[in-house]
A and B are shown apart, each in its own frame.
Chain A
Amino acid sequence: MTLEILTSDPLALLAISAGQVQAPEAEVGSPVGRSLDSPQEAHRIGDPVPIVFARRVGSAGGIMTSPKATEARFENDANNAVTASYHLILSEGQVDLLQVRDVFQRACRVGTFSQTYNRRAGTWDPGNFIVQRAGYSLPICPYYCGTIGAYTGMSTLSFVSGAIPDGFDQWNRQVHAFIRGGMWVTRLEDDVLGPSNSFADLVLWLMKRSARVPDAVIDLPAMEAADTFLRANGLTCNCEIRDSSNLPELIARWAPYFLLTGSRSGGKRGLRPLIPTLANGSIDTGAIVPAWAFGEGTIIPGTVEIDYIDRAERLPFVAQVIWRQQLESDYGIIRTVEVRLAGTAADGPYESHDLSEFCTSELHAARVGAYLVAKRVYTSHTIRFSARPGGHSTLQRGQIIRVRFNRLAEGSIPAVHDFLYRLERVTKTLAGDLSYEATHLPIDSQGRSLIALAVANAQGTGITMSSNRTGITCDVNSSGDTTIPTETWTDVDFGTVDNPFGEIVTFDPDYGVIDPGLLFNGGDGGLSGGVPGEFGDVSGGLSGGVSGNIGGGTSGIPGDSMPPMDYEGGAGIGSGSGGGTVGPGGSIPPITPPDDGCTYTYKAVRVCGSSPPNPFYTQVGGYNGYIVDPSDLGCQIRIYTIKDCGDEPVVSEDVWDVKQCSGTYSDATGDVVVSGQKATGGGLTRVTTTVDATWVDVVVFTGGGVACGSTYGSPSTFVMTTTKEIAGVRRNVTPLGFERCGSIGTAAIYLVYADGTSTELAVVGPFGGADVQDVVTNASFEVTFECLSGTCASMDGYCFDPSDYIP
């Protein structure tokens, strides 16, 4: 049977479709269907911030939107002509600047406007400034005109109508804007930040910003391949998303209309084409070469299952695909494409698929229709089987396999089962066996995929329609005016109050991927003050914000796994007894809670600059300590102790600043030279003391602070050289120290631990020096030299703070 795809836009329906601007079903929300001459709509608190995703390329694409207002202004002149100003939200993120010809009120290019991003557009103040004019009736204008907002991370539009003469009310009509370049995203195609019409770009953006999927769990190669496929086959997406849904639902609903499907490969999420493709994204219309051929030798006996698709689901039908012919700087026209298998379904049945939300190409619509028909008619069955591990163990979903086996019945000639399949599911069991589920891939006598041929050969009629606009034009601005008005905006100054409305800022689209488990910064208590934080745990965040308890300090409790909120109204977060400065490789000591019958919970949070706090540790009953990583440099490690004795939990905070020692230090006093690098803010005090009778003229340095020792590739070193003949070195300060080795003529440097064990660090001889690698925290130690040979008249020792030395 020859597959011939017929696409048509029946003339019988032309008149109807040309004037058919019906509002679509509510859940579809096609922007074309909205009434042009309707009252201006207003946003409500809690509405989703709309996403306009579009890119006009050539004569297709872009989208006409009807943005909702958030602020308004009404005033009348001496002749009672009303001028209305509206502040509107165009889209999440930044969009291309609008041209004069692209803005309408009702169906007319009128008024003036200004567009901006990440702030409030226009300079006018909202309000009703209508006054009674003598001899005229008072115009009825809205009284609640809103207040100025921050509009962080979104594109906004300020529209000012012309002065509408007395007696007319066109000032209250809906504003429309034709957007050529929608929300900017980093395109997979060229890694450029700009508008896009690739469904793969949209899904990738949503995975990162909406679902907060870590990059490691995104199948980027699959997304790039899907993007290549979309561009190679003209499957574009020009849409406006203003109704709430969720990402899995969006992918499940829209992906098939881009001939894609969501995929999970190795746990990573991505998109994959539904038909065989080549590396350059074009449809593979050549002979299919299977990646593997299974037969009796590889299939485990008794595991084959074949399910044939019901006849009722394979009947030929007419796919009626609805799409949107998007005219430039004008309203779109709803169009239809009917796809049927040649010689079948002359009178239906019809199956309608509405792609008008995002499809602006007849070719796109035709190809989707061809796929729907061919897939349904030609695919006859699915197969499942298991195989022992072998060379096929690397097969992945989407690859083509061949399954061929004989059915040998006694007294009958063998029946051969020989088909190509497309893998839909591959399961690798712990025992090693692999389980495959695959869908029949119908091919012709040349081995070519029938479905791929149908899609590749599908073509539109090429018929385009005009806007069918008639009557005297009401445009004041020219339809050829491509100028972009000067950007004007209002800077919002909330003064020193960071949380002026007692709200919590929940999202910033420029923030990048946000880690789960966000920290709530409740501020200084109450509704105002403090730093607007991120929302971690909803209950904890709200209660902490309102009561101000959790935000008693400068930071709140990590949002996830939060303890019960029964300590509202408490004293807030107090300072713990620990904290201080620690260097990379240094250790934050463990904490053992007292045995007082209370429950102690410990949380550790890493705070780096303006990045969202990152909770990374939670434990009940004790804190195991932490070895500071070099990547923590410049950050704070905050340890929260939550003490719960049955009443209101008490929270305390220890803050550790991770700093790098820097600077240099050298001292050549006496016979021992110590050199190293000095910490900023550290200090050494040299004192002379006598330790005991054995050690004479011991010179020590003392200093407090925390060491910057490191074991992460940058050893903590200090160098001691001496011109004296020394017998040993000694450290006599707990908890860490050096112990005299007792060997004549040499000095052994030991690191002595609090439990009495020790580690030999180095041995130095006369006139020698030692580089000592050390990891110490919150300690000072001295090194003294004992001269046993008698050639030394005096000994010098040094006690110095290792925090003064570069790790």
Chain B
Amino acid sequence: MPLAQSQYLRLFDAAGTTYARWQSYYIDTAVSWQGASWQFQQFAADGLTDGTADDGDSITIQAPATNVIIEAFQNALAAGWLAELLIYQFDPLINNSTPQGGQTLIGGYVGQAVAAKATMTSFALVLGSALAPVGAQVPPRKLTTLLMGQGCRL
């Protein structure tokens, strides 16, 4: 039984506003899935890793450097948008033109746009986590003059 995989990518901000819904399997058509319309957009994500906290730090979304992609990815990086990547598996012999209701979610990833690379023809957006070792200080606050005054010397 042959199996096919389709990828869905959603760009949104921390408040939940969605800026783009793309799918890369059903060429040149928009499909409906989970109550939303997903436009066709060429892109490809590298593998997903489910592991320890140090694993799967990032995945990369590769796409052709079209105006739509450039603007979206640049905005995502500037504003720190989030991205959700979903990978579904299904039997294309059953239906290969629209998403199947029984298709299996085999992988998902939610990350923040943390880096990007581009060439003349391609644009890659790196999705990762904001849990940077340097920035995530514990305790998070430091005492300042405003908080504690000048301090005493005992």
Using a CB–CB cutoff of 8 Å, the interface residues on chain A facing chain B are 39-51, 69-72, 89, 92, 126, 142, 144-154, 172, 206-207, 209-217, 241-242, 244-252, 261-269, 389-390, 393-394, 396-397, 424-430, 432, 437, 500-501, 503, 505-507, 509, 513, 515-517, 560-561, 614-619, 624, 629, 631
Contact = CB atoms under 8 A, between A and B. Distances in A.
Contact of B53 (A216, A261, A429, A430): A261
A439 B130 CA distance: 29
Contact of B143 (A46, A209, A213): A46
Contacts of A251: 53
Nearest to A241: B139
A40 B154 contact: yes
B139 A264 contact: no
Contacts of B149: 70-71, 126, 146-149
Contact of A631 (B17, B51, B153): B17
A629 B17 CA distance: 10
Given A212-B130, A501-B146, A269 B105 contact: no
Contacts of B119: none
A443 to B, nearest CB: 23
A430 B145 CA distance: 53
A214 B130 contact: yes
B152 A146 contact: yes
B152 A71 contact: yes
A464 B57 CA distance: 45
Contacts of A147: 149-150
B136 A49 contact: no
Contact of A513 (B12, B14, B89): B14
Given A389-B3, A427-B48, A427-B49, A246 B137 contact: yes
19 contacts: A44-B143, A48-B139, A210-B136, A214-B112, A217-B129, A242-B139, A267-B108, A389-B5, A428-B48, A430-B44, A430-B45, A432-B3, A503-B144, A507-B140, A513-B14, A517-B78, A616-B75, A619-B74, A631-B17
A429 B56 CA distance: 12
B141 A267 contact: no
Contact of A430 (B15, B46, B143): B46
Interface in B37-95: 44-57, 59, 71, 74-75, 78-80, 82, 84, 87, 89
B152 A144 contact: yes
Nearest to B140: A210
A264 B52 contact: yes
Contact of A150 (B5, B75, B105, B147): B147
Contact of A267 (B79, B109, B138): B109
B89 to A, nearest CB: 6
B28 interface: no
Contacts of B150: 144, 146-147
B136 to A, nearest CB: 4
A247 B136 contact: yes
A262 B53 contact: yes
A362 B49 CA distance: 37
Given A217-B110, A247-B131, A41 B138 contact: no
- Chain B, interface residues (CB within 8 Å), range: 35 or more
B106 A393 contact: yes
A72 B154 contact: yes
A456 B154 CA distance: 50
A429 B59 CA distance: 11
B104 interface: yes
A579 to B, nearest CB: 21
A146 B136 contact: no
A425 B51 contact: yes
A394 B50 contact: no
Nearest to A532: B146
A70 B151 contact: yes
Contacts of A396: 50
Chain A CB within 10 Å, residue with most, of B14, B57, B105, B133: B14
B148 interface: yes
B120 interface: no
B142 A46 contact: yes
B14 A248 contact: no
B79 A432 contact: no
Given A244-B137, A267-B129, A617 B52 contact: no
A172 B87 CA distance: 65
Contacts, number: 272
Contact of B47 (A45, A172, A215, A429): A429
B15 A631 contact: yes
A246 B134 contact: yes
A43 B133 contact: no
B135 interface: yes
Given A144-B153, A397-B52, 16 more contacts: A42-B153, A47-B143, A146-B151, A149-B146, A211-B135, A213-B129, A214-B82, A242-B139, A264-B50, A267-B109, A394-B105, A425-B49, A427-B50, A432-B3, A506-B144, A516-B130
Nearest to A209: B140
B78 A618 contact: yes
Contact of B141 (A41, A212, A507, A617): A507
Contacts of B107: 266, 393, 428
A188 B71 CA distance: 39
Given A210-B139, A211-B131, A246-B137, A45 B53 contact: no
Given A150-B146, A211-B131, A267-B110, A428 B80 contact: no
Contacts of A153: 141
B148 A151 contact: yes
B154 A39 contact: yes
B124 interface: no
Contact of A210 (B108, B129, B138, B144): B138
Chain A CB within 10 Å, residue with most, of B44, B74, B142: B142
B151 A42 contact: yes
Contacts of A39: 154
A69 B14 contact: no
A153 B144 CA distance: 13
B71 A624 contact: yes
Contact of A217 (B17, B82, B89): B82
Interface string B1-32: 00101000000111101000000000000000
B148 A267 contact: no
Contact of B133 (A144, A145, A248): A248
A430 B78 CA distance: 27
A617 B106 contact: no
Contacts of B141: 48-49, 92, 153, 506-507, 509
Given A45-B144, A262-B53, A389-B89, A428 B106 contact: yes
A747 to B, nearest CB: 35
A268 B17 CA distance: 19
Nearest to B107: A428
B152 A145 contact: yes
A266 B128 CA distance: 11
Contacts of A172: 154
B125 interface: no
Given A40-B154, A516-B80, A247 B148 contact: no
Nearest to B105: A394
A428 B45 CA distance: 11
Nearest to A242: B139
A244 B139 contact: yes
A377 to B, nearest CB: 22
A428 B87 contact: yes
A211 B53 contact: no
B129 A269 contact: yes
B90 to A, nearest CB: 11
